[in-house]
Amino acid sequence: MALEVVRLVLGPLENNTYLVADMESKTAVVVDPSFGSQAAVEVAAARGWELQQIWLTHAHFDHLAGVAEVEAAYQGRLPVGLHPADLPLWEKRGGASQFGFNFEAGPRPNLIFTHGQHLPLGHETLEVRHVPGHTPGHVAFHHPSGVMLVGDLIFQSSVGRTDLPGGSFQTLLASIHTQVLSLPDTTRLLPGHGPETTVGLERSGNPFLNG
């Protein structure tokens, strides 16, 4: 596998911002840049990786607060990807004001994600999976080597909250069962907060899925 993933824990909500790189071409994307994402720019530069795009799993403010910061380092040249069902949430700055946050949103997303879409990254390809429930346009990014970036869909022994606008617990569970638990038990799940886990661990031990 020529794919490498680096996790950075950033911002007041301890978000996981990920750098995903194809090691052969030295090209990379940043997934869910949160507050303080200049750190992601610096890590990419130190490793000799050229950032190509910004991918958002969903449009809550803590997952996009660093877009403008990353874009500033690249003179606004990076496409920003988001599922269209989350554009209304993006237009409200991801609900930031509800939690007392204010920040520059950065450019409007111009890379539109669809379910089943294949995203090239150097010599590698990741698949977009639409996984609504936490938000209407939430997506996950799956790599065939057995890695899935799942945002706030599922966590170690927990699941994403569904009490915010656009959330639905039943829809969330359906997304998890059809798009996550359908994968091999060894698949690594890289969430938006907290440590990574696996499909097998969540299948057998997640109380929200086995209650």
Q: What is the mean pLDDT of residues 123-130?
A: 97
pLDDT tens readout for residues 2-61: 899 999 999 999 999 999 999 999 999 999 999 999 999 999 999 999 999 999 999 999
Query: Does any domain span residue 148?
Result: yes
3-state secondary structure of 39: helix
Average pLDDT, integer, range 154-160:
98
**Domain total for the chain?**
1
Please give the backbone phi and psi of residue 96, each rounded to the nearest 5 degrees, phi first. -60, -40
Q: By mean pLDDT, which of 18-32, 59-73, 86-100, 120-134 is the weakest?
A: 86-100
State the pLDDT at residue 101: 76
**What is the residue range of 25's domain?**
3-205
Domain assignment present for residue 124? The answer is: yes
In a domain, 164, yes or no: yes
Location of structure tokens 């930031």 = 96
pLDDT 10s digits, 158-206: 999 999 989 999 999 999 999 999 999 999 999 999 999 999 999 999 9
The pTM assigned to this predicted structure is 0.96
Half-sphere exposure of 166 (CA within 13 A, CB side): 20
Please report whether residue 210 resides in a domain.
no
Q: How deeply is 57 buried, as exposed, middle or buried, from its count of CB atoms within 10 A (0-12, 13-18, 19+)? A: buried
Q: Answer yes or no: are the C-beta atoms of 141 and 57 closer than 8 Å.
A: yes
- Assigned domain for 14 exists: yes
What band does 1 get if pLDDT is binned at 50, 70 and 90? Answer: low
| Residue 211 forms part of a structural domain | no
Residue 44 falls inside a structural domain: yes
Tokens describing residue 97: 């004001």
The answer to whether residue 82 sits within a structural domain is yes
The strand pairing partners of 126, in sequence order, are 119
Q: CATH code at 90? A: 3.60.15.10
